[in-house]
């Protein structure tokens, strides 16, 4: 079992502050707060929290992993201009209907919508 660390504790606190963080965003936020942590330590902390079930990892198609606090399933929407990512409350996919139409035993899904956020519209 991994030892508790000040970085993991600080990263866990970050996950409760906003919807999602990339490794670079989390690293910058910790630096601004005076938390001594290199980028690799922040990455390891996020991966550990994901593996422990405390965080979810997702990608919106830009190749950058994002981490959010684990909890209720939801979809994501990405601004096509500025790249901001926001949660879409609830689930928009009827997995039972997909299973009926395809014959697949659906085990999960990820849906990312795109559009323009209020600031860019």
Place of tokens 């919508």: 113
What is the value of pTM for the model shown? 0.84
Judge contact between 21 and 63, C-beta under 8 A. no
Same domain, 36 and 84: no
* Number of domains into which the chain is organized: 2
Burial class (CB in 10 A: 0-12, 13-18, 19+), 26: buried
Distance, in Å, from the CA atom of 90 to the CA atom of 1, rounded to the nearest integer, reads 34
Is residue 21 packed enough to be buried (19+ CB in 10 Å), middle (13-18) or exposed (0-12)?
buried
Does residue 51 lie in a domain region?
yes
Tell me, what CATH number does 96's domain have? 3.30.1490.190
What confidence score (pLDDT) does residue 73 get? 87
Averages of pLDDT over each 10 residues, the chain, 121 residues: 77 93 97 94 96 94 93 92 93 94 94 95 90
Q: What is the pLDDT of residue 3?
A: 59
CB 89 within 8 A of CB 81: no
pLDDT confidence of residue 72: 85
Asked if residue 89 and residue 61 are part of one domain, the reply reads: no
């Amino acid at each position: 079992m991994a030892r508790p660390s000040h970085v993991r504790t600080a990263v866990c606190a970050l996950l409760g502050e906003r919807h999602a963080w990339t490794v670079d965003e989390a690293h910058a936020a910790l630096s601004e707060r005076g938390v001594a942590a290199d980028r690799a330590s922040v990455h390891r902390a996020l991966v550990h929290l994901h593996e422990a079930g405390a965080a979810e990892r997702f990608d919106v198609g830009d190749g950058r992993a994002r981490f959010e606090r684990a909890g209720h399933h939801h979809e994501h929407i990405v601004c096509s201009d500025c790249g901001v990512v926001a949660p879409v409350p609830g689930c928009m996919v009827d997995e039972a209907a997909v299973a009926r139409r395809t014959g697949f035993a659906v085990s999960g899904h990820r849906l990312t919508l795109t559009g323009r956020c209020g600031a860019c519209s």
